[in-house]
Structure 1
Amino acid sequence: MRAARFYDQQDIRIEDIDRPIPGPDDVLIDIAWCGICGTDIHEYQDGPIFIPPKGSPHPVTGEEAPITLGHEFSGTISEVGDNVTSLKAGQNVVVEPYVIHKEYWGKDNYHLTPDQNFIGLAGGGGGLAEQIAVDQHWVHPIPDSLPLDEAALIEPLAVAYHAVERSEAKAGDVALIGGAGPIGLLTAAVAKAQGLTTIMSELSKKRIETAQETGVADHVVNPKEVDVVEEVLKLTDGKGADVGFEATSVDVVLNTLFAAVKKAGVIVNESIWGHKPAANLADLVTKEQDLRGTIGYYNSHAPSIELASSGKVDLKPFITHKIALDELVNTGFDTLIHHNDTAVKILVSPTGKGLNS
C-alpha cells in the first residue's frame, strides 16, 4: 500500500509499504481522510520533534525514522481481530491516536504518562496511508450521520475540547483566542458551544472570514488594523478577557495574551513550539495569571464526537482543501507553509477516493 513516510527534516517520501496485519485485539481500518496537522508541519520544518530519529527507537513502538505520518484520520473498519467484540466490520470510526505503555491505558492522566506519543509520529502506522491496524482500545465509533471527511477533524476538535477544559472557563466568560488556524477556530467553536463569548485575533483574510462566517467568533480583531489589547479592554469594560488561548506559536501573540487577559486570569498554551519564545513574564507575574500547558486530549473524543454529531459544532466549513497523497508536500505542506492565508484544514485521501466530492 502507499504511505507518506518521514525520513528526516524536509524529507518526506510517498512509498509502497506492506499492508498492516491486525492482531487479535486490533481492528484494520481503511482510511478515508487524514488531515495535515500543524505538528506535521513542525516535524517537516524543524523536526524530528515527536518522531524518533534514526538510531533512537521509541520505547513503546520500537520504531524509528522512517515513520508513516498522519494522526488526524477517519475510516471504515474492514476487519476485526478475534478478541474484538464491541466493533465490527463496516463501522465508521475515528482513532484516539495515542502511543502509551499499556499499563497506563485508562488510568488517571494517561495522556501524561512516561514516553507518551502519538500514532503517526512515534510509529504504529499512520493516517497518511491506505490502511492502519489499531488496538480496539483507541478506536471510537462514529454515527453514520457524521460524514467521514468531517470526522477527520474529531482529533483536532478533541485537542480544542481538552484545552477549553484546561482553562476551567464557564458559560458567560470571555475568551481571547490568539490565531484562527484550525486549532484556534475549533477552540472558539468549543468555547461557543459551552456558552462563552469569543474574541479572535488573526491576520489572515481567509481565516478571518472563516471565523466570521462560521459564527465561532463573536468578535474578530486584526492586529494590522487595531491594537488587540485596547480592543479587548473595550469589549470587556476594561477588565480584560477571562481566559486566553495561544494557538500560533508566535511570540507576539503569547505576549498579547499576557497583556489582554485579566488579572488572575488563565492562559492556555495549545501550540507545539519549534523555538523558545521570548515571553514577557513580567505581565504574568504582576497580574498573577496562570499559564497552563495542554497536550492532546484526555477522555475527550467521546464528547467531541457528540459535539459534532449533535450539530453543536459544524466541522464542514473548516475543510478548505482535499488533495491526493501524491500532493502532500508540493501542494499540502507548501500551502500551509507559504500560503496559509488561503487554507484552514487540508484533508488528504490516501486512496484518491472522494476527491470530487
Structure 2
Amino acid sequence: MKNYAMKMCSVKRLERTELEMPVAAADQVVVKIEYCGICGSDMHFFQNGAIGTRKAPPDFILGHESAGTVIEVGKDVTTLKVGDRVALEPGVPCGKCQYCKSGKYNLCPDVHFLAAAKPPTNGALRNYFAYPAEWCFKLPDNVSTMEGTMLEPLSVGMHAAGRGGAELGKTALIIGVGTIGYMTMLACKAMGVSKIIVSDALENRLALALQHGADYAINVKNEDAVEKVMEYTDGEGCDIVFETAGSPVTLASTWKYVKTAGVIVNVGNASGEIPFVFGELARKEVDIRSVWRYRNIYPIAIEAVRTGKIDLKHIEPAMFPFEKSQEAFEYAFEHRSEVLKTIIQVTE
C-alpha cells in the first residue's frame, strides 16, 4: 500500500505527494480515509493562503471533514476494531486545561484541529491517517461513510442550535442557507423548533430548504426581509436569529428580526468590527451568543442520523476522485452558489 496526500504547495495549487505509511501508536488507529469534504475554511486557505492572520504553512494538507475504515488498531485501543467505519472529529484538545476539564474542549487554547494553521496541523486529504481512537466515532450500519463525512458541518449546526436554545414552541430565523446554515436548519427541525424561516439571495438554496425543514423562505434580492419576518411572526420577531452567512452586514442587522427576550447566535463568525444597535438590544434584553466549532456533539449527531431525526441522504454533494482534488477545489469555489457540498472520494 502507498499513502499519498494532496499538499497545498502554493496558493490555489495542490500536488500529490507520497507520505510514509502510518503506524498506529498505542492509543491510535490507522484509518483508510474514504471521503473528505471541502469546508469554507479549506477554501479560504486554498484561495488566499490564510484566514485572517492565520497563514497556511508550506506544503499544508487541507481537509477536516473526513470518514473512513479502520485498518490497524493500537495495542491499548479497545473501543474499535479493524473493519469499523468511523468519522474523525478533527479537533484533538489537550485534555488538561480548564476548558477541557469543564467539558468545553472546543475552547482549548492548545487544540490541534485538522487543517488549521494555529498550531499548524495537517489535515485529512490523504489515503491513510493514524489518529487518536478517542476521536474516531464508529458509524452504525445504516449510516454511510459519506454521511459520516458530513457529521462535521452537522455538528456545527447542532452546536449552534443548542447555543440558541432551539426547542418546541420556538421560532427561528436562519440568515444564509449555505452548508452551515442548512445544517443549522436540520438541527433546529430535529430539536422541535415550531417555525423555521430561512433567508438567502439564492433561489436554489431556498427551494431545497423548503423541501427539507423550512416553513418559510425569504429571497432577500426581491423581498424585504424585515417585513416578511414580521409577517410570519405576527409582528413579534423570532425567538432565535442565527447568522450563518458570515457577513458583517447581515450580522449587524440581526437586531431587527429578534423578538424581545430573544437570542442572536453568531455562527458565521464575520470578521472585522460589527456595529450593533445596542440601545435596541438592551430595550429587548436580547442575548448575543457566539459559536466556536462544537463540543460533545458527534455521538448525538450520529444518533440523530441513525434514527432518521436528521436526514443527510438527500444531500447530493458534487463528487470528485482523489486525483482530481485540484479540480474539486476550483469547482467548489466557482460553483459555490450552486452546490451545497463538495466532497472528494479519497479511496474506494
TM-score by length of 2: 0.90
Q: How do residues 57-76 of structure 1 correspond to structure 2 at under 5 angstroms?
A: 64-76=57-69
Provide the residue aligned with 1:119 in structure 2: 114
Cα distance in 1 between the residues matched to 2:219 and 2:12 = 32
Percent sequence identity is 33
SS at match of 1:341: coil
Decide whether the 8 Å contact of 2:265 with 2:290 is kept in 1: yes
Pick from 326, 329, 337: which aligns with 1:333? 329
Q: Which amino acid aligns with 1:231?
A: K
Q: Which amino acid aligns with 2:287?
A: D
Q: Which amino acid aligns with 2:333?
A: I
Cα distance in 1 between the residues matched to 2:267 and 2:44 = 14
Decide whether the 8 Å contact of 1:243 with 1:267 is kept in 2: yes
Provide the residue aligned with 1:24 in structure 2: 26
SS at match of 1:200: strand
Count matched residues: 340
Pick from 96, 104, 123: which aligns with 1:109? 104
Q: Flag the 1:328–1:207 CA change in 2: closer, same or farther, 3 A.
A: farther
Pick from 272, 276, 286: which aligns with 2:272? 276
Q: Flag the 1:350–1:304 CA change in 2: closer, same or farther, 3 A.
A: same
Pick from 219, 222, 231: which aligns with 2:219? 222
Cα distance in 2 between the residues matched to 1:348 and 1:131 = 14
Provide the residue aligned with 1:150 in structure 2: 147
Tell me the CA shift for residue 298 of structure 1. 1.0
Pick from 73, 88, 93: which aligns with 1:80? 73
Structure 2 residue 36 is the aligned partner of structure 1 residue 41: no
SS at match of 1:340: coil
Decide whether the 8 Å contact of 1:14 with 1:325 is kept in 2: no
Range with bigger deviation, 230-239 or 17-26: 17-26
Cα distance in 1 between the residues matched to 2:240 and 2:331 = 31
Q: Flag the 1:49–1:239 CA change in 2: closer, same or farther, 3 A.
A: same
Q: Which amino acid aligns with 1:335?
A: Y
SS at match of 1:307: helix
Provide the residue aligned with 1:59 in structure 2: none
Range with bigger deviation, 132-141 or 118-127: 118-127
SS at match of 2:50: coil
Unaligned 5+ segments in structure 2 are: none
- Please tell me the root mean square deviation across aligned C-alpha atoms, in Å: 2.2
Q: How do residues 210-289 of structure 1 correspond to structure 2 at under 5 angstroms?
A: 210-213=208-211, 215-273=212-270, 275-276=271-272, 278-282=274-278, 283-289=280-286
Decide whether the 8 Å contact of 1:2 with 1:15 is kept in 2: yes
Q: Which amino acid aligns with 1:239?
A: E
SS at match of 2:337: helix
Once superposed, which parts of structure 1, at least 4 consecutive aligned residues long, lie more than 4 Å away? 50-54, 104-107, 122-125
Q: Flag the 1:48–1:170 CA change in 2: closer, same or farther, 3 A.
A: same
Tell me the CA shift for residue 270 of structure 1. 1.2
Provide the residue aligned with 1:301 in structure 2: 298
Decide whether the 8 Å contact of 2:28 with 2:74 is kept in 1: yes
Decide whether the 8 Å contact of 1:109 with 1:298 is kept in 2: yes
Cα distance in 2 between the residues matched to 1:177 and 1:40 = 23
SS at match of 1:316: coil
Pick from 197, 202, 205: which aligns with 1:204? 202
Provide the residue aligned with 2:321 in structure 1: 324
Tell me the CA shift for residue 335 of structure 1. 3.1
Cα distance in 2 between the residues matched to 1:244 and 1:14 = 42
Provide the residue aligned with 2:129 in structure 1: 132
Pick from 167, 170, 174: which aligns with 2:167? 170
Tell me the CA shift for residue 239 of structure 1. 0.5
Tell me the CA shift for residue 7 of structure 1. 4.5
Cα distance in 2 between the residues matched to 1:89 and 1:312 = 29
Q: Flag the 1:279–1:317 CA change in 2: closer, same or farther, 3 A.
A: farther
Tell me the CA shift for residue 9 of structure 1. 4.2
Cα distance in 2 between the residues matched to 1:230 and 1:162 = 29
Cα distance in 1 between the residues matched to 2:102 and 2:276 = 36
Cα distance in 1 between the residues matched to 2:189 and 2:344 = 28
Q: Flag the 1:271–1:254 CA change in 2: closer, same or farther, 3 A.
A: same
Tell me the CA shift for residue 326 of structure 1. 3.4
Tell me the CA shift for residue 308 of structure 1. 0.6
Q: Flag the 1:71–1:51 CA change in 2: closer, same or farther, 3 A.
A: farther
Cα distance in 2 between the residues matched to 1:65 and 1:257 = 39
Pick from 163, 177, 180: which aligns with 2:177? 180
Provide the residue aligned with 2:188 in structure 1: 191
Cα distance in 2 between the residues matched to 1:70 and 1:295 = 18
TM-score by length of 1: 0.88
Unaligned 5+ segments in structure 1 are: 55-63
Cα distance in 2 between the residues matched to 1:80 and 1:21 = 9
Decide whether the 8 Å contact of 1:51 with 1:67 is kept in 2: no
Tell me the CA shift for residue 111 of structure 1. 1.4
Q: Which amino acid aligns with 2:166?
A: A
